[in-house]
Amino acid sequence: MRLLGAVLAGGESRRFGSDKALALLDGKPLIEHAIAALATQTEAVIVVGREGGIPDRPGPGLGPLGGINAAIHEAAARGFDAVLTCGCDVPALPRGLAELLAGGGYVAEMPVIGLWPATLGDHLDRWLADDNDRSVRGWANAAGLRRMMLGAPVANLNTPDDLAAFTRGPAG
């Protein structure tokens, strides 16, 4: 199976207070950590929703679904079977995540992390065109995708405090 990786980076970073994609972790922007995490499990990686990447589809303001939709369509256009997504604030992913989500599914605790078959673009276009629930979970459930629980939590650095705690590690 050919997998495209996509970092969803179109959010407003309201909880972070500044562009969290550019916040530094170990001397590198968070977005670079997310790209590297996806690169270990996919053939290529794109950035969605920010300058230099591909735009949300059909446009901005739809939350993560706009980014996922753009990524699904990009995967289909480039001949990939599916796209594995994560947010720009996810510095690491579990090993074997793509295999765990094979066939299509999302992480229950963090639904922006998901494996979306490239055949779902038209379904998501229709979903977004109608007055449907804009949550990733709502669409994924309507599309019949599996909700997966992970054994260990995935770091999601939404605030400067989250970043500081992650940097300190469990010992504090």
Select the more confidently predicted residue: 152 or 124.
124
Q: What is the pLDDT of residues 21-36, one digit of tens each?
A: 999 999 999 999 999 9
Q: What is the pLDDT of residues 100-114, one digit of tens each?
A: 999 999 999 999 999
How far is 118 from 57, CA to CA, in rounded Å? 14
The full set of domain ranges for the chain reads 1-115
pTM: 0.94
Q: What is the pLDDT of residues 52-68, one digit of tens each?
A: 999 999 999 999 999 99
Chosen CATH of 1-115 out of 3.30.560.10, 1.10.10.10, 3.40.50.300, 3.90.550.10 = 3.90.550.10
- pLDDT for residue 119: 98
Q: Is the pLDDT of residue 157 over 80?
A: yes
Considering all CA atoms of the chain, what is the largest pairwise distance in Å, rounded to the nearest integer? 48
C-alpha 21 chain-centroid distance: 13
Percentage, residues of the chain above pLDDT 70? 98
- pLDDT for residue 169: 67
How far is 160 from 27, CA to CA, in rounded Å? 15
- Is the CB of residue 136 less than 8 Å from the CB of residue 106? yes
